[in-house]
Structure 1
Amino acid sequence: MTGWTGKMLNVDLTSGRIWRENIPVDFLHLYLGGRGLGVRLMRDYYSLAPFDCNMQLVFAVGPLCGTQAPTSARLSVISRSPLTGTIFDCSAGGRFAWRLKAAGLDAIRITGRSSTPVVLSVQGESVELNPAKYLWGKSIKETVASLADRGSVAAIGPAGENGVLYANIMMGEGNSLGRGGLGALMGAKGLKAIAVNGDAKVTVADPSHFDRARSDVMRLFNASPVIFGELGIARFGTPALVDIMRQRRMAPTENFTKTVFEESGNYSGPKINRDYEAKKDGCYGCPIQCKKSTPNGEHLPEYETVSHFGGLNGIADLASIVKANTLCNELGMDTISAAATISAWGEALGRFPDAEELPGLLEDTAFRRGAGELLALGSRRLAVELGRPELSISVKSLELPAYDPRGAYGMALAYCTSNRGGCHLRAYTISHEILRKPVPTDRFSFSGKARIIKIAEDANAAVDSLVACKFSFFGATLEEYAGLLSATTGLEYSPQSLIEIGNRICMTERFYNGTNGFTIADDNLPERFFEEAGSSGEGIKVPPIDRARFDEELQKYYRIRGLDSQGAFHDFNWLKRQP
């Protein structure tokens, strides 16, 4: 077998037992790796409560990891989210994924709970649990520095230790497994960090085929205006989107009460580059290098972060936004949920926080003191506690990212059909509605969006299982990546076979969620978007979303997926027939 190692490391933190086992070959062929493999491994765990001692946390790479396939040095972490209750996965790039594969592993599956804090150390074939009480309470930076001699590190900060429901897991190079609170699961298990190293090499079945496929990918990258264009993400990073969303009047402002923040130019891509002398940065081995850092190595915020700590909270000061991003990275918190929860809290109080208040609020949240005790719960639980549930701008309890759905109706529907909650990355319809050249689809229409979303969800599930970066697909397509996969594994994969794998993954996730009590009521937007207009002007009118058309297109999506009118499975035995 090439591409995959076929091996998984099992770790029972309760007993301290550690063992390797073979992964069934069918799991790899039919679910690939990453998100798909993790979802398949959740088959016996998905109905457990997130903080149940026996709930598993899976770290999984894909078959392309360890090769020269562009953007493939990535992994996914899969479990059930304590914030949303949905089946959940997060993806991040960096050396950690590469070294996990080099340790001879496709996955690590962690269960149980340690009575004292520990670090899992994987050094090739040698694996052990080491005491980590001395690291408990330490920041991400301090933890990574302390474990630097053991290879690459994935760690939690104080937020994960203290059970903040949107605590993240940080990679040592600064990448974040950001959404859904998987860091809180690590904290509950008493697992402070994982350190990995190894020197095993990945064999490619057909090197000449692989080189041709890789050349095709790079040619398409270089031709993509979104990737390497004058205003592309390789030059300005994802904050290149700040000006685009401002122009389209769909920039979430003051807890989504408006869709334009007049001072957003203060944190646009060009402004960040200029003020911070930003240099290119990015995931290990990635040719795009879409991230930005200061000359002294401080990671600069990406689009969702600058927009949410900026316009969503009515803050224009770039230095404060950068500081908030750095604090979240050090404390181990998802920037999107942190900023959105603060914004909901601000609207409930009748005023949004000043820039000077942000650091204190973030620290209080991570350590769950004062107002932070409430902020640590996420916006839905906070809003319910305050008697203002309508102020949580979330779907399935996951706070919406920085694309106001009134300005892109495909995104409005995609937030709701997303299995993990209000996420833009399950079906990134912005690529069709805003970024596609020369003629995008009508962003103020639902026509055809159900089918676009279904196809995009399936494709992205396959991408998340390869595991590759979604930014690759601003240039390349599944055809080129199917070529890379075929050349690596020696098995024949086509774009259609990858779509079929993606469909299997999406439907399995939906089945898990339905069994756990999610219904059509959860496939819904906050009422604000159906009742309140966005900020019109400059020749653009942003009306409320038409509820009847939304419901009609949602029903169309259900039919395309083969679901009933309530979004449920016709066949309760569906899962039993799946491989």
Structure 2
Amino acid sequence: MELVQGAAGAQVRSVLEPWSDPDPAWDAVGACGGSGLAVALLAQAAERNPAPLVIAAGDAVSRGLPTAARATVASRGPLTGRLAEGQVGGDLGPRLAAVADALVISGQLDPSGEPLVLVIESGGGVRLELAEELGGARPADVAAHLRARLGPCAVLRLGPAGAAQVPFASLASGGDEPSFVGRGGLGAALGALGLAAVAVRAEPGAPAADPRALDLLRALGRSPRLAMRAGAGTTELWHALAARGELISGPEGARLDPEAGARLVSEARAAGLGRHGCRGCPTPCGWTFERSGGGTQRAHFGAAQAVGPALGLEHLDDSLRLLGACDAVGVDAKEMGAALALWIRAAERGLRPGPSGRGDVALLEAWIGETARCEGEGARLAQGAAALSRELGLEPESPMAGGQAVRAGVAGDAALLGQCVSGGGSDPMRSFAFLAEEADPERIASLVGRDDPTPGELVAWHEALVAAVDAVGFCAFSTAGLLADGVCDTDALAEWILPLAWPATEGTSGQRLLAGGAAIVLARRQLDGRWGAPADRDRPAAAAASLDRPGLLDAYRAARGIGADGLPLDEVWSAVGTSRLAEPWRVLERAAIDLAPSSGLRVDAERPMARGSLHLRAVGPLGDAIGGDLELQLDLPASPRELLAALVEARPAARSYLGDPGSALVGLWRGGRRMGLNDRLADGDQVDLVLVIAGG
């Protein structure tokens, strides 16, 4: 379906027709549906200004598979000038899928005029409605008003920041506790087209009678990681990342300690009011929290962390207050948090006048409001973190990739590389390769298809996998849980979620899944190239020294099949639509890289054993199963396998989360480093048990 808007602001027409592309490679990308179709549609309109905005729903959404309810929203990001792509849950995807595979909004109404709403009817008809009463309204109020006016519908809408063209304005979807999408400024992209909201009135179709759906549902219930996520709502990452030494919590890069991370998880569980998730999901991970000042706030870890400890806020309630301020005006909390952190640092170094704002939740909240209005201090903050860092002279030390802020302090080569090369934005689930957290070489090799893969190869594999999953509309969190926990392999996953019409008909089902995802990744790069992305796009200055080490950017380029300019090699692009893209294009001679480096003490077999104590800490359902902080007695020195065996014996209720002691299902972290399975534990060691999915 294509909506073309008249320049006068009154004409509207819809075209509902099959889609194809004369270029076989682009046709294969679009045939993947969902995010693949969105990229292909944008490529056909790459010269239009402003760029169209595409909303698309994948095949798994149409079929009503469990946890498959995500819509892709994509456009050229006002913040970066590159592809901005996000996935959003709720009923937008299922309702759109009842009408069309994708909606393309192009042309331009008067963006300075009265707010207009695009309404999509059940039969595919479209109309524009004037909604002057929505001017300056919060996203939550817009949805309530339109549902009262139009009846049941899905509403994708911007907030005051999108109307003001703040380049990192977001879009809201869902009801009273909406979810937000739009890293890169998708809210500003919709506003530039002259719209305040898109309302889809079509009723979602009933799930198809698919015997695979029941098998998939049972498999989802067998994943310990998904059970952990459901029991803590992504807040378990406070403890996990603090244990790794990844969370910035004070001036000049001070880190949050694991005890403080565990405290934040406890605060979150105490404030949690309810859970919500995608359609048919047996382990819903969305949480709503009660705020001390009244009201509730929906939150995931990534957004809450961005406006938390790095800004000097010690308690979750303060983070929720700032997150609520971001949601009320419709700005991306991650970009807003990064800009505020720079603003604080600049004051502390004497680079700007006025108070720093660190730990002052009221002042920080006021600055967020000013950002949405582009006035006062907010006029500078509204540039976004990358432009602000250049203005303040802080660019060399600021974590940026692709023109937007990325998570600071990440540990591990794969996490760093993933953020830098990610296409469509740096959403953690799409850029943090979850297999990099694995210590079991056999599991990694069985999934990736290579023994001892480099971080670059892991990132390329993960990127292709998640691109394919996003295209069909299945949940990336569920995918990570199923594969990381060994519940299934990529062949079984593909059998459950792949549509019958999927490019690359040869090879195993898993190879076909990965090949389709790799094609979408390459297409994103082609589109960004048309939009003028620089040749060094994957190598930001702040990370260049790390990325240049063997096995990182060089291995990624080889596995992805791209040149130093970031664009696909001709022979690789010609393979789009075949299963050859499921395998690395060429193999590098490289130095072996240990994905789970030793974290300390090793002993020989002659060393005498003695009874000692280990101090264990876990959060969420795993923490409940072991009784919170635990002092465990056993013969030492001991290996992680011996520790896990002793823990299962002492706390049988933890067995379902720990798995087999030799499987390395749970990560053991000591002193900020993950332990390898052959390391040794000594008397008095503090060990953090981590069982998480990397994104959130």
TM normalised by structure 2 equals 0.71
Aligned-pair RMSD on alpha carbons? 3.1
Partner residue in 2 for 1:524? 539
Question: After superposition, what is the alpha-carbon deviation per residue over 1:200-231, rounded to whole angstroms, capped at 9, x for unaligned?
Answer: 63684xx4xx32x2233223222211111xxx
Bigger drift between 249-258 and 460-469 goes to: 249-258
Q: Which runs of 5+ in 1 are unaligned?
A: 1-7, 531-544
Instruction: Using the TM superposition, give the Cα deviation of residue 30 of structure 1 relative to its aligned residue in structure 2, in angstroms.
Output: 5.2
| 2:296 alignment partner AA | E
After superposition, where does 1:341-420 map in structure 2 within 5 Å?
A: 341-350=339-348, 351-353=356-358, 354-401=360-407, 404-405=409-410, 407-420=411-424
Any idea what SS the aligned residue of 2:104 has?
A: strand
**2:241 pairs with one of 241, 245, 248:** 245
After superposition, where does 1:507-546 map in structure 2 within 5 Å?
A: 507-527=522-542, 546=546
Tell me if the contact between 2:122 and 2:202 (Cα under 8 Å) persists in the aligned partners. Answer: yes
Distance in 1 (CA, whole Å) between partners of 2:536 and 2:63 is 43
Partner residue in 2 for 1:119? 117
| 2:137 alignment partner AA | K
Partner residue in 1 for 2:515? 500
Pair 1:479-2:474 in alignment: no
Distance in 2 (CA, whole Å) between partners of 1:219 and 1:577 is 34
Tell me if the contact between 1:239 and 1:306 (Cα under 8 Å) persists in the aligned partners. Answer: no
Distance in 1 (CA, whole Å) between partners of 2:181 and 2:439 is 28
Distance in 2 (CA, whole Å) between partners of 1:140 and 1:293 is 17
Tell me if the contact between 1:395 and 1:526 (Cα under 8 Å) persists in the aligned partners. Answer: no
User: Rg: which structure is higher?
Assistant: 2
Distance in 2 (CA, whole Å) between partners of 1:285 and 1:577 is 33
Gap change, CA 1:496 and 1:13, over 3 Å in 2: farther
Pair 1:18-2:13 in alignment: yes
Gap change, CA 1:499 and 1:265, over 3 Å in 2: closer
Gap change, CA 1:562 and 1:438, over 3 Å in 2: closer
Distance in 1 (CA, whole Å) between partners of 2:232 and 2:576 is 47
Question: After superposition, what is the alpha-carbon deviation per residue over 1:79-135, rounded to whole angstroms, capped at 9, x for unaligned?
Answer: 111111111211011012111223x22111101221232100112124210012221
Distance in 1 (CA, whole Å) between partners of 2:206 and 2:298 is 33
Distance in 1 (CA, whole Å) between partners of 2:258 and 2:158 is 36
Identity of aligned residues (%): 26
Tell me if the contact between 2:32 and 2:502 (Cα under 8 Å) persists in the aligned partners. Answer: no
Bigger drift between 370-379 and 29-38 goes to: 29-38
Question: After superposition, what is the alpha-carbon deviation per residue over 1:38-94, rounded to whole angstroms, capped at 9, x for unaligned?
Answer: 00101222355xxx23x1000000111143311111100111111111112110110
Distance in 2 (CA, whole Å) between partners of 1:490 and 1:426 is 21
Instruction: Using the TM superposition, give the Cα deviation of residue 485 of structure 1 relative to its aligned residue in structure 2, in angstroms.
Output: 4.1
Instruction: Using the TM superposition, give the Cα deviation of residue 409 of structure 1 relative to its aligned residue in structure 2, in angstroms.
Output: 0.8
| 1:301 alignment partner AA | A
Any idea what SS the aligned residue of 2:68 has?
A: coil
Any idea what SS the aligned residue of 1:65 has?
A: helix
Gap change, CA 1:519 and 1:98, over 3 Å in 2: same
Gap change, CA 1:254 and 1:397, over 3 Å in 2: farther
Instruction: Using the TM superposition, give the Cα deviation of residue 391 of structure 1 relative to its aligned residue in structure 2, in angstroms.
Output: 4.8
Tell me if the contact between 1:81 and 1:180 (Cα under 8 Å) persists in the aligned partners. Answer: yes
Tell me if the contact between 2:472 and 2:498 (Cα under 8 Å) persists in the aligned partners. Answer: no
What is the aligned length? Answer: 536
Gap change, CA 1:409 and 1:32, over 3 Å in 2: same
Q: Which runs of 5+ in 2 are unaligned?
A: 22-26, 349-355, 445-451, 484-488, 579-696
Tell me if the contact between 1:96 and 1:196 (Cα under 8 Å) persists in the aligned partners. Answer: yes
Any idea what SS the aligned residue of 1:330 has?
A: helix
Question: After superposition, what is the alpha-carbon deviation per residue over 1:278-326, rounded to whole angstroms, capped at 9, x for unaligned?
Answer: 3212234433210111469723321112222112212113222111111
Gap change, CA 1:572 and 1:221, over 3 Å in 2: closer
After superposition, where does 1:196-275 map in structure 2 within 5 Å?
A: 196-199=200-203, 201=205, 204=208, 207=209, 210-211=210-211, 213-228=212-227, 232-254=228-250, 257-260=253-256, 264-265=260-261, 268-274=264-270
Tell me if the contact between 1:426 and 1:460 (Cα under 8 Å) persists in the aligned partners. Answer: yes
Partner residue in 2 for 1:32? 32
Any idea what SS the aligned residue of 1:299 has?
A: strand
TM normalised by structure 1 equals 0.85
Pair 1:454-2:460 in alignment: yes
Instruction: Using the TM superposition, give the Cα deviation of residue 345 of structure 1 relative to its aligned residue in structure 2, in angstroms.
Output: 1.4
Distance in 2 (CA, whole Å) between partners of 1:268 and 1:434 is 22
Tell me if the contact between 1:61 and 1:106 (Cα under 8 Å) persists in the aligned partners. Answer: yes
Gap change, CA 1:227 and 1:297, over 3 Å in 2: farther
Distance in 2 (CA, whole Å) between partners of 1:437 and 1:335 is 35
**2:437 pairs with one of 424, 434, 438:** 434
Partner residue in 2 for 1:57? 53
Gap change, CA 1:256 and 1:18, over 3 Å in 2: farther
Gap change, CA 1:566 and 1:195, over 3 Å in 2: closer
After superposition, where does 1:93-112 map in structure 2 within 5 Å?
A: 93-102=89-98, 104-112=99-107
Partner residue in 2 for 1:167? 169
Distance in 1 (CA, whole Å) between partners of 2:331 and 2:463 is 26
| 1:197 alignment partner AA | R
Instruction: Using the TM superposition, give the Cα deviation of residue 463 of structure 1 relative to its aligned residue in structure 2, in angstroms.
Output: 0.8
Distance in 2 (CA, whole Å) between partners of 1:121 and 1:421 is 28
Distance in 1 (CA, whole Å) between partners of 2:100 and 2:367 is 40
Instruction: Using the TM superposition, give the Cα deviation of residue 172 of structure 1 relative to its aligned residue in structure 2, in angstroms.
Output: 2.7
After superposition, where does 1:319-338 map in structure 2 within 5 Å?
A: 319-338=317-336
Tell me if the contact between 1:462 and 1:499 (Cα under 8 Å) persists in the aligned partners. Answer: yes
Tell me if the contact between 1:272 and 1:278 (Cα under 8 Å) persists in the aligned partners. Answer: no
Tell me if the contact between 2:64 and 2:206 (Cα under 8 Å) persists in the aligned partners. Answer: no
Bigger drift between 367-376 and 384-393 goes to: 384-393
Pair 1:193-2:186 in alignment: no
Partner residue in 2 for 1:280? 275
Distance in 1 (CA, whole Å) between partners of 2:29 and 2:253 is 46
Any idea what SS the aligned residue of 1:71 has?
A: coil
Instruction: Using the TM superposition, give the Cα deviation of residue 520 of structure 1 relative to its aligned residue in structure 2, in angstroms.
Output: 4.3
| 2:173 alignment partner AA | M
Any idea what SS the aligned residue of 1:223 has?
A: coil
Distance in 2 (CA, whole Å) between partners of 1:577 and 1:466 is 18
Gap change, CA 1:572 and 1:243, over 3 Å in 2: same
Partner residue in 2 for 1:554? 553
Tell me if the contact between 1:398 and 1:423 (Cα under 8 Å) persists in the aligned partners. Answer: no
Instruction: Using the TM superposition, give the Cα deviation of residue 181 of structure 1 relative to its aligned residue in structure 2, in angstroms.
Output: 0.4
Gap change, CA 1:301 and 1:349, over 3 Å in 2: same
Partner residue in 1 for 2:338? 340
Distance in 2 (CA, whole Å) between partners of 1:456 and 1:496 is 13
Distance in 2 (CA, whole Å) between partners of 1:416 and 1:548 is 12
Pair 1:178-2:182 in alignment: yes
**1:77 pairs with one of 73, 77, 99:** 73
Gap change, CA 1:11 and 1:547, over 3 Å in 2: closer
Gap change, CA 1:455 and 1:235, over 3 Å in 2: same
Instruction: Using the TM superposition, give the Cα deviation of residue 570 of structure 1 relative to its aligned residue in structure 2, in angstroms.
Output: 4.2
